[in-house]
Amino acid sequence: MTPLETRAWAALDAALKARGFAYVQSRRGITRYRGDLRSGRTTIAVAVCVTDPVMTTPPKIYVEDLAIRRRLLAHLNADDSLCFAEKEVEEYDPYNAGGAILRVLESAKETLDQVLHASTLADRQREFVSYWNPDTYLYTDLPAGFSGRARCCTWNRVGGRDSLVITTPERVSRWSRDKPDDVRQAYVLRGNRPFDIRRGGGPGKTLATLKTWIAHFVDEPDAIAHAFAPALVDEGHIILAAENGVVAASFKWPEFARIAYAKAPQNRRARSISHGENEMTLDRGLADSVALPDLVNGRLSAPSPLIGKAVAVVGAGAIGSRVCLELARSGAGQSQRPMLIIDGDQFSTANFGRHVLPVSAVRLAKAGALAAEVRRLHPDLTVEGVATDVFGVTARLQDYDLVIDATGSTPVGLRLNDLAVTTRRLGKPFPPVIHAAIHGNGLAAQTVLVTRSAHACLKCLRPNHGELKANPLKPGVTTAVESGTCGDGAHINYAAPAPMLAATLVVQAALEWAAAPDMPGPRVRTRVLDLEHTAPPKDRNWPIEPLCPACQGPVT
């Protein structure tokens, strides 16, 4: 035990005993205390179980009163401990273990106060999924508001067990390689009102009680009849969906009936189910959504503005590979609006140290290998890799909402910039372009957004050879080039964090552009990894260079 842990145990023990808690025992790494918490006029006996005195793993609190625990079902973890705060939300000071354990008790008391004395119908409806208390888990990939017949197929294996996904009949092939005969039936029954576990006696434990309970929330008797058809009850899944949660129900035959009807024809099994609804046991399931928009927006304060945007990424190297993965996780590349990756190079062993692709991709075309890696994130991503020079497919770029130049190459960037600004000056559409660059062997990263506006294009910022406005490097700091051997050209060395920083800056610029295309924030952004050799300019919109040959020169 370290000195910090020794001091923490002493402080923790003193704080708990000062609050009237008594030490019970230490066994198998768990030290238990027992005491009371007051919630209103109610005294609640609890046990505090500590495994880590410095609180990197928070203690667990167990309510010992069974009657109180029944009222807390939505706030109990899988091991029956009270769910009162996530460790990522509450910060505990390891040098003040006494104060930390008192904050734990206060958080637990606040949870008890809310549930026991301030809980409303809205609270119960909001916490419906927790009250449902699932036995099994499966996933859904359904459009918003979907109801009716669906399909249940095998997705992948986790922990030796098949994961099941509920999807539409048209989308089964995206998720599963099951034979058509192995794809089971499902039905999505959508409630007209929020579910409430306590209304109508609750869902109970049988087919009969669930049907009675669900009728309180669904106004269409025909929909209930379709959902609970004997064939679905026999071998399918019923998905119950409402604004306050999505759960699943399946049913088990009694053991004697399962054996007796194992080889019976379907019509005979159906009659038995119709007459034996009280014997069909409910198996509750939790249906987590793996629909791409839900995954993207899961912890965001607002829907990602990149959802529905078609993005073309030029360059699948150290910057571009990270940009593509993060854009996909941010909503780009969904089925109706694809992502295009353009790069004519192959992935080599020299690329491995600063690239996202695995060694199995060596000697494959970067564009195709990266597209496959992005598609692996989710079946609903549509990504195309084109193994060619970007200037051979420039006509395709006009069909996209945003182009990202992740090559880090000044000649490529300037030529792409000239194409974009010249096309716009001719009155033709061309999407905004975000140019990304790394300066000074990875000392700084910079992005430049060029749109149809009265702001600088990329050439405006590079008026003369070797000159760079918004230069993040201090005077005299140069970029070292590593000499190449025959067959392997010279290259610039930099540490792995540099392309990570550049990709982060690109995604930030893309998100802000997607949220407000007319006011996307600073068009020139700079972030540095080394303050000693850099003087980062302030993020800003630079004015047009009066003599810029790209955006001010003649158009032919």
Mean pLDDT check: name the lowest of 34-38, 75-79, 294-298, 374-378. 75-79
Distance separating alpha carbons of residues 98 and 27, to the nearest angstrom: 21
pLDDT, one tens digit per residue, over 408-454 is: 999 999 999 999 999 999 999 999 999 999 999 899 999 999 998 88
What is the DSSP annotation of 451-493?
-SSSS--TTTT--STT--TT--BPTT-----BPPPTTS--B--
Whole-number Å distance between alpha carbons of 464 and 442: 23
Count the neighbouring beta carbons within 10 Å of the beta carbon of residue 235.
14
Residues 184-212: tens digit of each pLDDT:
899 999 999 999 888 888 899 999 999 99
Mean pLDDT of 62-68: 92
Q: Per residue in 353-369, pLDDT tens? A: 889 999 999 999 999 99
Alpha helix segments (H runs only) across 301-391:
318-329, 366-375
Read off the pTM: 0.82
CA–CA dist 462, 468 (Å, integer)? 5
Count of alpha carbons within 13 angstroms of residue 94, beta-carbon side: 11
Mean pLDDT over 486-504 rounds to: 82
Please give the Cα distance from 349 to 363 (Å, whole number).
Answer: 8
Would you place residue 34 in the very low, low, confident or very high pLDDT band (cuts 50, 70, 90)?
A: very high
Q: How far, in Å, CA of 110 to CA of 39, rounded?
A: 8
Whole-angstrom Cα distance, residue 341 to residue 320?
A: 9
User: In the prediction, which pLDDT does 506 show?
Assistant: 98
User: CB of 103 within 8 A of CB of 90?
Assistant: yes
Residues 382-392 pLDDT 10s: 999 999 999 99
Which contacts qualify for 346-352: CB closer than 8 Å, 24 or more apart?
350/488, 350/491, 351/317, 351/318
Asked if 11 contacts 97 with a C-beta cutoff of 8 angstroms, the reply is: yes
Task: Answer for the pair 366, 381: CB distance below 8 angstroms, yes or no.
Answer: no
pLDDT at 486: 60
Q: Mean pLDDT in the chain? A: 90
156 vs 20, higher pLDDT: 20
Domains in the chain with CATH codes: 3-119 (3.10.110.10), 130-290 (no CATH), 297-478+488-528 (3.40.50.720)
pLDDT of residue 444: 95
Chain-centroid distance, C-alpha 538: 32
Strands in 160-280 per DSSP E? 161-167, 184-190, 237-242, 245-252
